[in-house]
């Protein structure tokens, strides 16, 4: 007995359109702009959106009813404004498209979607809009993954040099000179070359990853954190003006990363130094802030490493004296001159105390590892 086969269409018909619509994750809709009603073409078509099959007050529901992501609702508002306030006499039909996030009926909460609209006019009055919605969530996630790879330092997971610098510049341009502030930090590993020479470059890479993880955990999510050199990192903290809080964060990072590495009978002390500058007091551009933070970093190295220093204007007077070895004692061998003030002597004493504290900490840690 011969079984009858299904009817094969020879032209486009509703069945073909429905099959294509389902295969491409596309849904079609119409929007009556005079009655402000929204209706899906095929209510039986399964989709992942939280869109009712039919609803009134469509313009309000779409912009304020939570169907469109709040950050993307402005696109829809722009579309409506352009419809009713066009400067030129509109054509009989107007094509528009946008990529935005629509509420999902399942997880994730929002789905990236591509929306195409064809709007029909009667004279200057918009009457009806027909459109389709295509789910581009997978495509968008793939693009974001590629973008993250391009913008991220592969070793540490922080931003790459170019991306970090670009984002810091963009953030500084948005900051109000009168009412807002920010702090820029440069973090540098002390004697990192010696770590590589002692334990090898693979071990050095592990140390860099640990620095990246510590930086990421120590600062806020909205802070801009990047690796800009072999063992050098930059951080912008928007809104950070309190020097006490800034110092607490920086000293916490220094303590977290101060240790003695030991492997196969070899030992080497490790620490980081941090230089900081603040917007707008020390500069208003990335270049100026970086230069001031770099001077503060040099001062931290000069004082004995393993510490944090905030830029002070008098540091610029000695910024050209970078021929002094970074590992050298911060105190010159000569006795104080009679012309030195008490404040100068106090500063020099504090520098000596910082160096002694750092060396004591390194020695205690080293002795503990040998017990």
Last residue of a domain, one of 114, 141, 168: 141
**103 and 196 belong to one structural domain:** no
Assigned domain for 337 exists: yes
Q: Could you list the pLDDT tens digit for every one of the 371 residues in the chain?
A: 445 556 777 777 777 777 766 666 788 999 999 999 999 987 677 788 888 999 999 999 988 888 999 999 888 888 888 888 776 666 778 888 999 999 998 888 899 999 999 999 888 889 999 999 998 888 888 888 887 788 999 999 999 999 999 999 999 999 888 778 999 999 999 999 999 999 999 999 999 999 999 999 999 999 999 999 999 999 999 999 999 999 999 999 999 999 999 888 899 999 999 999 999 999 999 999 999 999 999 999 999 999 999 999 988 665 555 443 333 333 333 333 333 444 444 445 555 555 565 566 566 555 555 55
Say whether both 62 and 203 belong to one domain: no
pLDDT of residue 338: 36
Q: Does 295 share its domain with 189?
A: yes
Q: End of a domain among 110, 141, 172? A: 141
User: What CATH number did the domain enclosing 256 receive?
Assistant: 3.30.70.270
Instruction: Looking at the structure, tell me whether residues 113 and 159 fall in a common domain.
Output: no
pLDDT on residue 289: 97
How much is the pLDDT for 93? Answer: 80
Q: How far is CA 354 from the centre of its chain?
A: 34
Domain boundary among 97, 118, 141: 141
Is residue 231 one of the residues assigned to a domain? Answer: yes
Report the distance separating Cα 196 and Cα 189, nearest Å. 12
C-alpha dist (Å) from residue 59 to 23, 55, 81: 29, 10, 11
Strand 125-135 versus strand 26-32 pairing type: antiparallel
pLDDT of residue 183: 97
Judge if 133 and 180 occupy the same domain: no
Asked if the structure places residue 365 within a domain, the reply is no
Contact 307, 354 (CB under 8 A): yes
Helices 243-257, 201-218: inter-axial angle, 10-degree rounding: 150
From residue 138, how far is each of 89, 109, 134, 178, 338 by CA, in Å? 39, 14, 11, 43, 73
Residues 119 and 194 in one domain: no
Q: Are the CB atoms for 227 and 161 separated by under 8 Å?
A: yes
pLDDT at 42: 78
C-alpha span between 4 and 26 (Å, rounded): 31
Closest CA to 51 of 108, 136, 126, 133: 133
E strand or H helix at 156:
none
Packing angle between helix 201-218 and helix 192-199, nearest 10 degrees? 140
Same domain, 115 and 187: no
Kindly state whether residue 363 falls inside one of the protein's structural domains: no
Structural domain includes residue 232: yes
Count of C-beta atoms within a 10 Å radius of residue 128 = 16
* Dihedrals phi, psi of 345, to nearest 5 degrees: -65, -40
Verify that 176 and 85 share a domain, yes or no: no
Burial 7-45 (b: 16+ CB within 10 A, else e): eeeeeeeeeeeeeebeeebbbbbebebeeeebebbbeee
Residues facing residue 49 across a β-bridge: 104
pTM greater than 0.75 (yes/no): no
> What Rg do the C-alpha atoms of the chain give, in angstroms?
31
Domain with residue 90: its CATH number is 3.30.450.310
Q: How many independent structural domains does the chain possess?
A: 2
On whether residue 1 sits in a domain, the answer given is: no
Nearest 5°: the CA angle 209, 239, 69 is 85
3-state DSSP helix/strand/coil % of the chain, to nearest 5: 40, 25, 35
The enclosing H or E element of 174 equals: helix 161-174
Q: Which domain holds residue 250?
A: 153-343
Same domain, 273 and 159: yes
Residue 2 lies in a domain: no
Same domain, 129 and 210: no
Q: Is residue 362 part of a domain?
A: no
Residues 170 and 292 in one domain: yes
84 and 223 housed in the same domain: no
């Amino acid at each position: 007995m011969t079984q009858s086969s299904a009817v094969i269409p020879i032209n486009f018909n509703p069945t073909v359109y429905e099959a294509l619509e389902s295969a491409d994750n596309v849904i079609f809709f119409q929007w009556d702009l005079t009655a402000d009603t929204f209706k899906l073409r095929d209510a039986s078509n399964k989709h992942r959106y939280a869109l009712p099959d039919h609803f009134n007050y469509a313009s309000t529901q779409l912009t304020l009813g939570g169907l469109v992501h709040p950050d993307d609702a402005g696109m829809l508002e722009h579309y409506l404004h352009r419809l009713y306030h066009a400067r030129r006499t509109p054509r009989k039909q107007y094509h528009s498209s946008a990529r935005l996030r629509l509420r999902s009926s399942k997880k994730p909460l929002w789905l990236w979607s591509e929306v195409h609209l064809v709007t029909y006019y009667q004279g200057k009055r918009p009457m009806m809009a027909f459109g389709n919605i295509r789910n581009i969530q997978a495509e968008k996630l793939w693009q974001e993954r590629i973008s993250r790879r391009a913008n991220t330092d592969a070793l540490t997971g922080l931003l790459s040099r170019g991306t970090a610098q670009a984002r810091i510049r963009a953030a500084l341009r948005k900051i109000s000179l009168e009412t807002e502030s920010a702090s820029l930090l440069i973090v540098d590993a002390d004697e990192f070359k010696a770590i590589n020479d002692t334990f090898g470059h693979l071990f050095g890479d592990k140390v860099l990853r640990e620095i990246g993880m510590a930086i990421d955990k120590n600062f806020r999510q909205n802070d801009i954190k990047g690796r800009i050199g072999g063992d050098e990192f930059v951080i912008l903290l928007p809104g950070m003006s309190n020097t006490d809080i800034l110092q607490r964060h920086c000293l916490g990072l220094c303590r977290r990363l101060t240790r003695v590495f030991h492997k196969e009978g070899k030992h080497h002390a490790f620490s980081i130094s941090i230089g900081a500058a603040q917007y707008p007091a020390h500069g208003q551009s990335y270049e100026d802030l970086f230069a001031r933070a770099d001077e503060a970093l040099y001062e931290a190295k000069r004082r004995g490493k393993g510490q944090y220093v905030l830029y002070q204007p008098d540091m610029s007077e000695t910024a050209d004296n970078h021929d002094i070895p970074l590992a050298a004692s911060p105190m010159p061998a000569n006795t104080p001159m009679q012309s030195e003030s008490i404040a100068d002597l106090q500063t020099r004493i504090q520098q000596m105390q910082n160096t002694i504290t750092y060396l004591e900490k390194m020695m205690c840690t080293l002795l503990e590892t040998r017990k």
